[in-house]
Every structure is written in C-alpha cells, then in structure tokens.
Amino acid sequence: MPSFVARLLLAALAALPLAVSAQGYPSKPIRLVIPFPPGGTTDIIGRLVADELGRQLGQPIVVENRGGGGGAIGAVEVAKATPDGYTLGSATVSTMAVNPACNPRLPYKSPDDLSMITNLAAVPNVTAVNPHKVPQTNMADFVKLLKANPGKLSYASSGTCGIGHMMGELFKVTSGTFLVHIPYRGVGPALNDVLAGQVGVLMDNIPSSLPHIQSGKLRALAVAAPKRLDVLPNVPTLSGLGMAPVNDQVWYGLVAPPKTPEAIIKRVHEAAAKALASPDVREKLRKQGAAPVGNTPKQFRAQIVAERDKIIDLVKWQAIKLEQ
C-alpha cells in the first residue's frame, strides 16, 4: 500500500499533463463542428464568430459541417471527442433543447454530456407569408383568416422537431388556430417552396428569410424578439401582439466535450467575449438581425435547461413525435 504522501504525489503527477496542456493551449488549429449543413443560420453565425475567435485564441478555427438528425449527428461527434479543447461545437436550441425533448433515445443527454462555454448570439424568429398566397398584411387579419379556415393553410419548417416546427406549434396553441405542418429537410427547401407559393406560411430564423423579406418576396407578419428589429422596424414583435409564449428567440452557443479542463473552458470563454466585443463582429451580427450575448457557462447551462423543459411540455401537449 503506498503511503499517504505517495498517493498525493501520484495524484499530482497524473494531473500534471492536463495542467500543462491547458497552460499551452492552443498550440494548433481548433476544429469547430457545426451540426447543420452550410448556408443555414447556425452556419452563418458560427462562421461569423469563428474568424474573430480564432484571432483572439491565436490559432485558426477550422469549421466542419456535420449535418443530419436535426443536429444530433454533429452534437454526438462533439460529445465523444477528446476533451482537449481542440474540438468545439456550435450549440443550438435544436441540439440542446428540441432534440432531447423529442427523442428520448438520443445518444447524448443535454446538457450533461457536453461542457458549456457561452451563448454567442440570440437570433429572432419570424412568421412570414408568401404575399400572393396570403394577402393579409397584419397578424390580426391573418389570425382571423386562420380561424375562419382551420386546416386550409399550411406552414413550412426545416423539419419535424426543428425550431420552425416548435414555433409553429406554439403559435397554434397561443392563437387558437390550426395550420397543417409541412416538414422539410432543412430550411432551404422549405424557403424555396414558400417563395414558389407551394406553401403559404414559413416559420424561420431571421437570417435566412431576411433577404427575401427585404426584397418583398416574403411578408413578415411578426418577429420573435425583445423589441422591433433595426432591419425590420415596421414589423411588430409577437409579444407586442399579445403572443408572448411564441416570442422566444433562438440562440447559438459554444460547447466542448465533457470533462474539458476548466482552464481551457475559461480560455475559450474569455476569447469568445473579446470576439463578441469586436465592433466588426457586432455589426455583422446586427446585419443578420442577431445580438451578441456572451454569458457565463453557468448561465448558459441554466438557459438550456429552461428551454429544454419548456419544449418537453410543448411536445407532450401537442403529442409531437419525431417520426411524424
């Protein structure tokens, strides 16, 4: 049996490589796993922040898109990666709250199987319509149309149990209306069909819909945001229209594999805070209708748990199943 002093020495030696690696971190490029295909809001926000984050850390950040499973494939890859700080992941409402609520057999538990770093940005959602398919120009008239024609209009989303789907179901519950959900494999195909008039209504994040709203190809009826957006000053918030439960923004955060050393988490968090303070990053986020956040790992975890629990209640209430 080793002595008490010997056991202490062994424990210190075992911890030494971890401390050294944290002290010298980072010494090589860092991989950022974005759990959705290129072109969507997660990709836009992730790449936007990654460039400045890499400059702050002194090493390039290499973005890798790992789409599939509503973000689950990429999230699992991060959860199983070596906890050395050289694999980071983009965390979204889908990967951290919606997927766990919809799929109890998910191969990771949120947020327990990942290390929280920070919420990078909050992004508004939007309820938009094809102006040729839905001539109503305001939410009050739109709700009247829906109540007079239950089930005759459909809304498109990025997929079953995606953010747009959850927003649509919250909208139905809050407004007392019924629209048919049409799930797509990503926001791109959903957006294309609404632009073409195949579907009348779209529930989406602002960045992917904004160019089409600004061009007049889509009409925004309301945004989910704390206040009206600078980029859409004439569009009211859902809260301002008396629909507060639907007024949730989505968020895009930064996570690491479980058991990543606290020193590395702190280093990345500090770099992310500096990146989000950059005037260039803030202006780019503003142009996307997004706002920087940069909260603490503890605050980010609490935010995830609150959102997950809310979605769990919605999934039960609406009897939503992943295979729908």
Q: Do residues 169 and 277 both lie within one domain?
A: no
Q: Do residues 139 and 188 both lie within one domain?
A: yes
What type of residue sits at position 233? Answer: P
Last residue of a domain, one of 221, 246, 271: 246
* Stretch 159-163: mean pLDDT: 82
The predicted structure's pLDDT at residue 127: 97
Q: Do residues 211 and 281 both lie within one domain?
A: no
Token output for 225:
């945001």
**Residue 262's CATH number:** 3.40.190.150
Task: Give the pLDDT confidence of 92-105 residue by residue, as tens digits.
Answer: 988 898 888 888 78
* pTM recorded for the entire structure: 0.80
Structural domain includes residue 19: no
**Residue 215's CATH number:** 3.40.190.10
* Stretch 215-230: mean pLDDT: 95
In this predicted model, which residue has the larger pLDDT, 302 or 36? 302
Peptide bond into 111 cis (omega under 30): yes
Task: Give the pLDDT confidence of 111-128 residue by residue, as tens digits.
Answer: 889 999 999 999 999 999
Structural domain includes residue 2: no
Last residue of a domain, one of 246, 276, 299: 246
Q: Do residues 129 and 242 both lie within one domain?
A: yes
Write the burial class of residue 255 (CB in 10 Å: 0-12 exposed, 13-18 middle, 19+ buried). Answer: buried
Peptide bond into 107 cis (omega under 30): no
The predicted structure's pLDDT at residue 187: 82
d(CA 291, CA 288): 9
Structural domain includes residue 303: yes
The predicted structure's pLDDT at residue 133: 96
Range with lowest mean pLDDT among 50-59, 70-79, 296-305: 70-79
The predicted structure's pLDDT at residue 44: 87
Task: Give the pLDDT confidence of 233-248 residue by residue, as tens digits.
Answer: 999 999 999 999 999 8
Q: Do residues 48 and 64 both lie within one domain?
A: yes
The predicted structure's pLDDT at residue 26: 96
Placement of tokens 């909050």 in the chain: 122
Structural domain includes residue 64: yes
Q: Do residues 139 and 197 both lie within one domain?
A: yes
26-65 in b/e form (b: 16+ CB < 10 A) is: beeebbbbbbbbeebbbbbbbbbbbbbbbebbebebebeb
The predicted structure's pLDDT at residue 22: 60
Q: Do residues 110 and 257 both lie within one domain?
A: yes
Last residue of a domain, one of 197, 221, 246: 246
Query: What domain count does the chain have?
Result: 2
Structural domain includes residue 223: yes
The predicted structure's pLDDT at residue 16: 46
Structural domain includes residue 9: no
The predicted structure's pLDDT at residue 322: 63
Q: Do residues 168 and 277 both lie within one domain?
A: no
Structural domain includes residue 18: no
Q: Do residues 138 and 238 both lie within one domain?
A: yes
Q: Do residues 137 and 242 both lie within one domain?
A: yes
Q: Do residues 197 and 224 both lie within one domain?
A: yes
Range with lowest mean pLDDT among 62-66, 131-135, 161-165, 192-196: 161-165
Q: Note down the domain range covering 68.
A: 28-122+249-318
Share above pLDDT 90 across residues of the chain, in percent, rounded to a whole number: 65
pLDDT band at 9 (very low <50, low <70, confident <90, very high): very low
The predicted structure's pLDDT at residue 4: 45
Q: Do residues 232 and 138 both lie within one domain?
A: yes
The predicted structure's pLDDT at residue 3: 53
* Stretch 136-144: mean pLDDT: 97
Structural domain includes residue 16: no
Task: Give the pLDDT confidence of 23-43 residue by residue, as tens digits.
Answer: 789 999 999 999 988 877 888
Q: Which residues contact 7 (CB under 8 A, 6 or more apart)?
A: none
Token output for 153:
């209009």
